[in-house]
Structure 1
Amino acid sequence: MTQEPDLREALLAAVPGLRAFAISLAGQVDRADDLVQDTLLRALSNLHRFERGTNLNAWLFTILRNLFHSEYRKRRREVEDPDGVFAGRLKVHPEQGSHLDFEDFRSALFELPSDQREALLLVGASGFSYEEAASICGCAVGTIKSRVNRARIRLAAMLNVEDVDDLGPDTMTRAALQG
């Protein structure tokens, strides 16, 4: 750019016209100034694409117009929420806790005796009835019910689950999400 002072002067000379055009598109002076700045940055980084001898202003105005429309399409999908009310109603549990809980569950599951683990997986995870699970394992229905019950009690003890509220996010996370 330092080798071409004429091009530098032409870019600087185009700024007032670009700014006026940006204001007419955006309707806000601060947004227009951002558009002009983004246009100049884009033009400078793509100067190698500008064909010497063609209309520099037309090229710059095209860049500005394309930037404006790209941002308009992006902003159209955004929700105006200046006071944060909408964002305050959105609640998403953090993912890392559930991954850690799942790993804890898997570890505890493999610490169960194999007959209890098998019964629990058949009934709880695979959705078989007690009768079907008993048939698969070749034992009585009462035996399967007993194994599933003991497995659930043992898992709850290993995972420190005392009631349904212990499932899901911990109390500190729940408090933060309610805040």
Structure 2
Amino acid sequence: MDLRRQLSAELPVLRRFARALTGDPALADDLVQDCLERALTKSHLYDASRPLRAWLFTVLRNIHVSGLRRSGRSGIVKTVDDLAEGEGAIAPDQEHHMAASSITAALERLSPQHREVIVLVGLEEMSYRDVSEILGVPVGTVMSRLSRAREHMRLLLEERGVAGLRRVK
């Protein structure tokens, strides 16, 4: 399969990871577009013996971190005028939606390092080894961050009254 088709197949997971990093759909789409552009122009640097997804996540994360360094800010700030009408409203009869909203809110309150490792291991189901390569840290650091991130998520969700999360790994 050629690289362009492989990149197309990775779009949904790249968007999900970018959304977790930025917290904003428009910024996430821009980040994915930058990642795909970089992947195509730097395709000669890709080692085909390694998973393409891990390489793309590394590229995407590096672009995101570089953007944060350039802009000198660590998060998205919305003013009251930026909020859409009814944004954040939750229908009271949809408990699953409330739980998902609580989890999303808790994820946004985590540090970027903890959010990255939770998303990559928990949502994308990547191995510790692949995550360590993406983040550029040892496997032990990934495991340590994941442990702290899970504990912090548990505490944040308990604050909001959400039932405990089930253990995946």
With the length of structure 1 as denominator, give the TM-score of the two structures. 0.40
* Greater Rg by CA: 1
Structure with greater contact order relative to length (CA < 8 Å, sep ≥ 6): 2
The structure carrying a bigger helix percent of its residues is 1
With the length of structure 2 as denominator, give the TM-score of the two structures. 0.42
